[in-house]
Amino acid sequence: MRLGERLDTARRRGFVGRESELAAFERLLDPSLPAQVLLVHGPGGVGKTALLHQYGWRAAAEGHRVIWLDGHEIEPTQAAVLAALGIASLDELSTMPGLVLLIDTLELLAPLERWLRRELIPALAGDALAVLAGRDRPPPVWRADPGWRELVDIVQLGNLSHPEGRRLLELRGVPEADQNPALDFTRGHPLALALVADVAAQRRFSAVSAHQVMGALLKSFVDTVPSPLHQQALEACAQVLATTEPLLAALLDLRDAAELFAWLRDLSIVEYGSRGLFPHDLARDALGAELRWRDPDGCEEIRRRAAAYYRQQFGVARPAVQQLILLDFVYLHRDTSVLGPFVAGYPQTGALSAHPALPAELGTFVSWVRKHEGEESARICSSWLERQPGSAVAIRSSEGATVGFYQLISVDATLDASMDASVDDDPAMARVPARGQMVRFWMDGERYQEPSPVQLFITVQLFRSYLQAACPDHTLLTFASAEPFAEGCAHVDFHRMPEADFTVGGHVYAVFGHDWTAVPPLAWVSRLAERDSLISSPTSLLDEETFAAAVKSALRSLGRAGGLRDSPLLASMLARGQESALRAVLKQAADQLAASPRDRRLHRALHHTFVQPAETQAAAAELLGLPMTTYRRHLAAAEARLTEILWQHELDARGP
């Protein structure tokens, strides 16, 4: 077997998924169907070339002659294309029956787009087929022209599904334990998965290895840009939820950004919706991470300008538009605050919608409450739904499935309706102030109150409700546990109210609240923006000695809410200014100790001292069954080993 044949075999063996895209090509090969041209588009690295190889092999297997043109390899001139085809004129194309013409990297042949569409492809033999693949969306003329509309099929290539991505990682030898972190990070982007597999071949993949793939991803997404200003426009677009032309001008401090906005709009990695332009999720992640590392001050300046623009717009906007501007403010917090785990998933919530609950959905809500909170809570929920069915809001997927709900109880509405018995029947309502409201029940049907797109969407919907004209005096939120939400609630001025905690079914529920009479909605939004502008990105790197001392201090602050807020480790490449990220890397390093037989005893000392601490070190030693001197020796060794692991990750994150 020749080397080229071995290469083809390996490519076929490593190809996964794309059933619908392959089916589109099979339809192209069917002579009974009219389509003869397939237009494939998608962002860089998404697998267009790999798909075209599959098309070529399938066409060759059915006896077709296949010609491959790659925009990387030929100049964008008519003469160069004819030479690559091995012909002197277009007339010769009609003498090639059964030809399958595959053109890859079409964007590099952009000067020839009109010629290809008007002259070259029409010159093909009647049974010939053409597949054109590039990053840019096909021009509307392919669909607008009555002739082409019958002969053209368009395929938008996206990321691999979760099972497909897992299969790709398996084929590349990534251990099963490393696959979920890789899939979560890459979101199924094929090139990113391949790069992660390369990292995993050297050592176990983790989020701290992510920076190693960022540079390659950026190069794939945008090979070249016309100028540094265009690069700044792309980076600015990645920082905000949606980019309009006036916002882009404000972000770049320009009088006119029309040309830059038009350039962004035509990029394959940029989508557009009703509120403006936004990059693909993975492109946004790659651009944002690279900018934070390369120019943290520039990144922060973009966010300050965005916050100033939103404040100015908020003051003159209609109430409905003010609600949308609030979402923009919230999104600015995705990397620089404790809201990160919730806000980062916002683009994924676009398929969700909120609706007044239908009578048929109420029983589903009660069953979810019974599943997650128990029978007594289910009885209380059923009682409220019977008396105030309009207080329940259903969260539905794009397919119409009910996936979550929340219920906002108004004390005034309860009293006006003479529902005193219901108030007495529900211990949660005992401390709700007059003219107050309580988010009594809220949950993702499957994941309850864990971070998820549904949970985030509910949060966003509630934020919108805070800006309504009929704002209550107080809003109270209920949580099954205070600890996971304490920092996030404090960040958005919802303060812990232990006096309002209540017990149902033997479980104590935590309450947080905001006083709108003290901090009204507009002041609240401004406070969020100002607080965000005070959070700065790290601008200097810690030395090893300072890093080690900071790890020791962080361990002793780990159990306190907000205990890491002032940690020097926030200036590390691991945390990048995010307290939530710092907690995550500390936990990840501790888990690494637990996974090692050699370090497991050290992990136990660490766990019972800092992660889930005993009341005293003497109690921890007793719990571990160790003499005090042995316990202290294990603890010191555990701190040293944890510091060693974290320092190595920090060095990896800094790169060369």
User: Span 196-223, mean pLDDT?
Assistant: 66
Residue 484 lies in a domain: yes
Q: CA quadruple 225, 227, 233, 235: dihedral positive or negative? A: positive
Domain final residue, candidates 500, 518, 536: 518
Residue 418 lies in a domain: yes
Among 67-76, 482-491, 615-624, the range scoring the smallest mean pLDDT is 482-491
Residue 216 lies in a domain: no
Q: How confident is the model at residue 69 (pLDDT cuts 50, 70, 90)?
A: very high
Separation of alpha carbons 638 and 654, rounded Å: 24
CATH code at position 262: 1.10.10
Among 323-337, 475-489, 533-547, the range scoring the smallest mean pLDDT is 533-547
CA 172 to chain centre: 24
Residue 525 lies in a domain: no
Higher-confidence residue: 491 or 632? 632
Q: What digits encode the pLDDT tens for the residues 264-276? A: 987 867 877 778 8
Q: Using the 8-state DSSP alphabet, how is residue 433 labeled?
A: P
408 contacts: CB under 8 Å, gap ≥ 6: 391, 393, 437, 438, 439, 440, 462, 465
Instruction: Indicate whether 271 and 418 sit together in one domain.
Output: no
Give me the pLDDT at residue 1, please: 59
Instruction: Indicate whether 92 and 110 sit together in one domain.
Output: yes
**Number of CB atoms found within 10 A of residue 352's CB:** 19
User: Span 219-237, mean pLDDT?
Assistant: 83
Instruction: Indicate whether 86 and 8 sit together in one domain.
Output: yes
The winner for highest mean pLDDT among 358-362, 588-592, 596-600 is 358-362
Higher-confidence residue: 353 or 538? 353
Q: How confident is the model at residue 348 (pLDDT cuts 50, 70, 90)?
A: very low
Q: What digits encode the pLDDT tens for the residues 572-587? A: 877 766 677 788 888 8
Instruction: Indicate whether 144 and 175 sit together in one domain.
Output: no
Give me the pLDDT at residue 274, please: 73
Tokens at 202, concatenated: 């050297």
* Measured CA distances, 339 to 468, 484, 510 (Å): 22, 11, 19
Separation of alpha carbons 626 and 618, rounded Å: 10
pLDDT of 371 > 60? The answer is yes
pLDDT of 513 > 70? The answer is yes
Instruction: Indicate whether 267 and 180 sit together in one domain.
Output: no
Give me the pLDDT at residue 320, please: 67
Among 123-137, 192-206, 467-481, 499-513, the range scoring the smallest mean pLDDT is 192-206
Instruction: Indicate whether 149 and 177 sit together in one domain.
Output: no
Residue 476 lies in a domain: yes
Considering only CA atoms, which of 243, 232, 299, 300 is closest in space to residue 271? 243
Q: Using the 8-state DSSP alphabet, how is residue 197 labeled?
A: H
Among 183-197, 211-225, 427-441, 572-586, the range scoring the smallest mean pLDDT is 211-225
Give me the pLDDT at residue 375, please: 96
Q: Using the 8-state DSSP alphabet, how is residue 432 labeled?
A: P
Question: Are the C-beta atoms of 606 and 635 separated by less than 8 Å?
Answer: yes
User: Span 199-203, mean pLDDT?
Assistant: 67
Q: How confident is the model at residue 257 (pLDDT cuts 50, 70, 90)?
A: very high
Quote the percentage of the chain above a pLDDT of 70: 84
Instruction: Indicate whether 610 and 645 sit together in one domain.
Output: yes
Total of domains in the chain = 5
Residue 215 lies in a domain: no
Residue 453 lies in a domain: yes
Higher-confidence residue: 579 or 258? 258
Instruction: Indicate whether 87 and 54 sit together in one domain.
Output: yes
Q: What digits encode the pLDDT tens for the residues 275-328? A: 889 887 777 878 887 888 788 888 889 988 998 898 888 778 876 677 677 778
CATH code at position 489: 3.40.630.30
CATH code at position 144: 3.40.50.300
Among 43-52, 122-131, 233-242, 418-427, the range scoring the smallest mean pLDDT is 418-427
Question: Are the C-beta atoms of 195 and 220 separated by less than 8 Å?
Answer: no
Tokens at 255, concatenated: 């009088």
Instruction: Indicate whether 24 and 131 sit together in one domain.
Output: yes
Q: Are strands 65-70 and 99-104 parallel, antiparallel or unpaired?
A: parallel
628 contacts: CB under 8 Å, gap ≥ 6: 617, 618, 621
Instruction: Indicate whether 12 and 145 sit together in one domain.
Output: yes
Domain range for 505 is 351-518
Separation of alpha carbons 551 and 543, rounded Å: 12
- Please provide the average confidence, as pLDDT, over all residues in the chain: 83
Question: Are the C-beta atoms of 288 and 236 separated by less than 8 Å?
Answer: no
Instruction: Indicate whether 148 and 180 sit together in one domain.
Output: no
Domain final residue, candidates 282, 299, 330: 330
Instruction: Indicate whether 511 and 377 sit together in one domain.
Output: yes
Residue 534 lies in a domain: no
Considering only CA atoms, which of 311, 269, 209, 229 is closest in space to residue 574? 209
